[in-house]
Amino acid sequence: MLHVIEINKYRPSLMRRGRYLSEDWGSCSDISKTYNGIILTREEYLRVEASYISAVRAVCSLANVPGLCAHKVEHWDVNSETLRRNNLDDVIDGTPAPADGEPIAGPRIDNAFRRCLREVGWLEFVVPKSFVIHFGYDYRVLIGLAQDPSPLEGLMRDLGLFMYKITSTLSTFEEWGFA
């Protein structure tokens, strides 16, 4: 059985049918904009981004994932004015896009996660037929795994994030026969 979860920063009480009912930021391009009377700073963006990286790493650890492979690489930008303007272009380090099926590990995987969160790269991270990480729009992450993710609920709260069990129609799940 594959468990599918969504991890995000949005309060469950303000979610209805997959939509957040309050104004909130959903991208690094929102830095310097005001949401609910609060300006999104670069520092706050980086704090939340680090929480997401920690959350994804914790799910990988729970799932005892030996390593991840690139899957469905869609884009890998070589420059970004938005990132440069916000001093977040450290992820654009000259490394080439991973090939489909290529193992990704070490510092390169954190860079690839950050690229997805900063919208200058997009791919799924998989262990074929058993585990997938899918970075979606609006700072939402979908993860499919065999293990029950419930033990991570406290950690997610400590990180300021929320974890939901969901049903998903991701094409990768359909390809693997889980949908």
> Would the pLDDT of 179 be above 90?
no
pLDDT of the residue at 178: 63
- Domain range list for the chain: 3-175
**Average of per-residue pLDDT across 87-98:** 96
pLDDT of the residue at 15: 65
| 97: DSSP letter | P
With a pLDDT cut of 70, the percent of the chain lying above it is 93
Is residue 104 classed exposed, middle or buried when 0-12, 13-18 and 19+ CB atoms within 10 A define those classes? Answer: middle
**Average of per-residue pLDDT across 71-77:** 96
**Average of per-residue pLDDT across 133-153:** 93
Q: Which of 1-15, 46-60, 111-125, 136-150 is predicted least confidently?
A: 1-15
pLDDT category of residue 18 using cuts at 50, 70 and 90:
low
Mean pLDDT over all residues of the chain?
A: 91
pLDDT of the residue at 19: 64
pLDDT of the residue at 10: 85
CA distances from 100 to 15, 57, 144 (A): 34, 21, 19
